[in-house]
Structure 1
Amino acid sequence: MSRVNTAFYAGSIAQCVAYALEAPAPPFPVFVIAYAINGFGIALQDAGANGYVASLTDSPSTKMGILHAVYGLGALSSPLVATQFSQRPRWSFHYLTSLGVALLDTISLIVVFRGKDLDESLAEIGQPPSEKSNSTNEDNKYKQIFRMRAVHYLAFFILIYVGVEVTIGGWIVTFVIDVRHGGPSSGYISAGFFGGLTLGRVGLLWLNKMIGERRVIFLYAILATGLELVIWLVPSLIGGAVAVSFVGMLLGPIYPIAMNHSGRILPPWLLTGAIGWIAGFGQAGSAFLPFITGILASKEGIKSLQPLLVSMMSLMAVLWALVPNAPRRPD
């Protein structure tokens, strides 16, 4: 097995490079390049982290929830920091905060994993390596992954989910300012969304277990869609802000549940590669849906945000219905 943790290091270093480019407020084309580098780094780390936690046999659902709650905590902090810098002449210096976090991330990965591959890391905590298939060469492994429909259903599901999450977290501020006439502090509404996301990933673990992780996603998607209709149709700044937080809380558990479900229905020897594809492909949603939102906003106004989100949340539920509930043979 290749040293999968190399991807961790490459991803964290890519983020450091990106934030260093963004901090001095360079020309717009440099920003575009830096964001592409940043997205590459995030995708590598996202795939590696999800693959590692999904491979654990001791309480993987709880640990996946905690992993993504920490993600939500970081996303909660970001709008708080960015809002403080938004009114200052050197607004781009808020990227220095992100650079500091990325450097800590790189150091932590080096200290914790020390270059070990997945099986070596699992062995260190007393977990035996995953079972192998009869044919384990890399070419055959990836052929098996791409022949599995479940992998592609999950990838498209995650693409829509990530797109919805990032679109709400980013564009909701513009919607509140332009449509609900919010002031300079509207950035805190985005923080409320990610605060709800963080809370939902840990605070709703009990509900996930009680209802069942597969069924509960339908419940979360329906309730979040209903709240999005409230944000769209009820012209209340405060009510919309509260609803956005609850949407974050309901959407929060969906990503870790999907990753846990991947670990249950995909063959163990394909899990890391499959989750790498699912998470990497899904990360494209963080660019795709916000881009579509921008096109619609330029033509129809930012009021088009809510119809788009409602339709994408509905599509998300449909895609989840296509994901199988039981393990399938890769062949």
Structure 2
Amino acid sequence: MTTLLLLVRANWALGTFAICVYGCGQGLTIPASNLLISNLNPQSRAAALNLLNFSWGIGAVGCPFAIAALQPSHQIHWFLYGVAASAVILAVAFGMAPLRAAGQDSTAEARRVEQGFWVRRLVVVLGLLFFIYVGVENSIGGWISSYARRISHGQGSVWAVTPSFFWGALLAGRALAPVVLRKARETNVAVAGLILATSAVALLLSAHNMSWVLMAASLAGLGLSAVFPITIAMIPLWLGKPGERAAGVMFALSSMGGATLPWMVGAISNRFQSLSIGLWVPLVGSMAMLGLYYGHRNSKADAAAA
């Protein structure tokens, strides 16, 4: 909250510091909120997490419009005040909520569980899924408008809204996922989604006009939509109770992937003077996630402990 207030009248250095502190706060709250929702909905973890991530997506899509509306009158600080006030209200609400704390393991038991935990196969698999997924999502969402502009040769402005098709389909998929998850197992939904996403990226790379680019962007967003919430739900399902300790590391890996893979797209594109070649990064990433999910679709927490 104080970080957002600092941004209102801050100079460049103070504003940069405030953004860093705000990012640290998000780094703490995002894993905690996901684990909270997961633990409160043990029978429908993936469905609940899809709705949570859908809500975040609405905010991510809607806030730029609010800023755009306030920008002409130079009133963006009111937006920051509003976000700060909302953060205070949420903090008070969570502080007053009658949530029961999970029992803490004894020190001896905690040490026993910790031994060998980080080298378990499913811990590594989940770490890879978190790293690759956010990297793939950011690579497509961040580079697709540049790719579309090259396909359209800069004519018109349709290329500029291409990311909206991707993110819009991502939101729609997360809104519909709880319905699908009532009848299908989480890992099967993830596998189906990754097949669609991989096919969509391949279609994108072979597109020669904007119609195909827009279709590929929409299909890619739809295919990826349920994968990340399902991956979060896999933490307790694959790792059991000790897996909660790994949540922070998993989300840290997702942030690393989100920063690394889009950079790789740019670096490879620059090296070969072709964005099409650079976009093989999310294609290979989607294929890798598909292989990881398909190979472990029947895994359970007790298997991880073996």
Q: Same fold by TM-score, threshold 0.5 exceeded? A: yes
Partner of 2:90: 109
User: Are 1:318 and 2:302 counterparts?
Assistant: no
Give the 5 Å matches for 1:182-331: 183-184=156-157, 186-268=159-241, 270-299=242-271, 300-323=273-296, 325-328=299-302, 330=305
Cα distance change of structure 1 residues 110 and 34 upon mapping to structure 2, 3 Å threshold: closer
Structure 1 residue 284: Cα displacement: 1.3
Alpha carbon RMSD of aligned pairs, Å?
3.5
**Equivalent of 1:177 in 149, 157, 160:** 149
Superposed, 1:34-73 pairs within 5 Å as 39-56=23-40, 57=42, 59-73=44-58
Q: TM-score, normalised by structure 1?
A: 0.75
- Aligned pair count reads 299
The CA distance in 1 between the partners of 2:137 and 2:263, in whole Å, is 13
Whether 2:4 is the aligned partner of 1:20: answer no
CA contact under 8 A between 1:73 and 1:195: conserved in structure 2? no
Whether the 8 Å CA contact 2:264–2:281 is kept in 1: the answer is no
d(CA) in 2 for partners of 1:98, 1:189:
26
Q: Structure 1 residues 133, 110: CA separation in 2 closer, same or farther (over 3 Å shift)? A: closer
For structure 2, the 5+ residue unaligned runs are none
Aligned residues of 2:46 and 2:181 also touching (Cα < 8 A): no
Using the TM superposition, name which of 210-219 and 247-256 deviates more: 210-219
Equivalent position amino acid for 1:46 in 2: I
Within 2, Cα distance between the matches of 1:94 and 1:186? 30
Matched residue SS, 1:210: coil
Alignment-derived partner of residue 99 in structure 2: 122
Q: Which runs of 5+ in 1 are unaligned?
A: 1-11, 124-128
Determine if the alignment matches structure 1 residue 75 to structure 2 residue 60.
yes
> What is the TM-score when the length of structure 2 is the normalising length?
0.80
User: For the Cα contact (< 8 Å) 2:48–2:178, is it kept in 1?
Assistant: no
Give me the identity figure in percent: 20
* Mapped contact 1:73–1:198 kept (Cα < 8 A): yes
Q: Which amino acid aligns with 1:48?
A: A
Q: In 2, are the aligned partners of 1:64 and 1:256 still within 8 Å (CA)? A: yes
Q: Per-residue deviation at 1:187?
A: 3.8
Report the Cα distance in structure 2 between the residues aligned to 1:209 and 1:182, rounded to whole angstroms: 45
Post-superposition offset of 1:207: 2.5
**Does the CA contact (< 8 Å) of 1:81 and 1:94 recur in 2?**
no
